[in-house]
Amino acid sequence: MRRKPRKRNGLREIPEDLWKLIEPLLPPDKPPGANGRPRVPNRTVLDGTLYVLRTGCQWKMVPQQYRSGSTCHLRFQTWVRAGVFKRIWRVCLNHYDDLQGIDWRFQSLDSATVSAPVKGGIKPEKTLRIEANWAPSGTCSRTPTAFRWRSRSPALTATT
């Protein structure tokens, strides 16, 4: 039975013209007729990955239309290590520059994207100690525990 081509939603799925730019940058899909489980198409996985990045949902909560969230997450990690998203960013940026033009004289940096220093900030001052207070406390005492109270049990007597 032949499937009807689905209409792609531009908000949730990559438009066709953009997909033509991105597809050559991704590793090839498994060829049809290859052994093993059929591989989830790259387009479906990328749509699922973008869904997670847009909505902030957990990988396990990816809608069924994007197949398995585990598959999307695994492929996302693989593509990040391989630098695929950096290549996609460059191609899309150049494409946008060709279409609309980018004014490269104006640039902005969001401070939320800059990593914080490991030991940054002002070093807090030490809290000053208050005079020694040797009042009785329920949690600690200078007196050793064994000698703190007199025993109230009857004295042990020798029996014959």
**Res 63 pLDDT > 70:** yes
Structural domain total, the chain: 1
- What residues contact residue 119 under an 8 Å CB cut-off, 6+ apart? none
pTM of the full structure: 0.58
Residue 150 lies in a domain: no
Kindly state the tokens that stand for 33.
């007729």
pLDDT-derived band at 41 (thresholds 50, 70, 90) equals very high
Residue 140 lies in a domain: no
Residue 138 lies in a domain: no
What is the mean predicted confidence (pLDDT) over 67-86? 94
pLDDT at 7: 56
Q: 51 lies in which domain range?
A: 16-30+38-102
Residue 157 lies in a domain: no
Query: Could you count the other beta carbons within 10 Å of the beta carbon of residue 4?
Result: 5
Residue 119 lies in a domain: no
Higher pLDDT: 140 or 74? It is: 74
Kindly state the tokens that stand for 109.
């940096």
Residue 160 lies in a domain: no
Residue 53 lies in a domain: yes
Residue 77 lies in a domain: yes
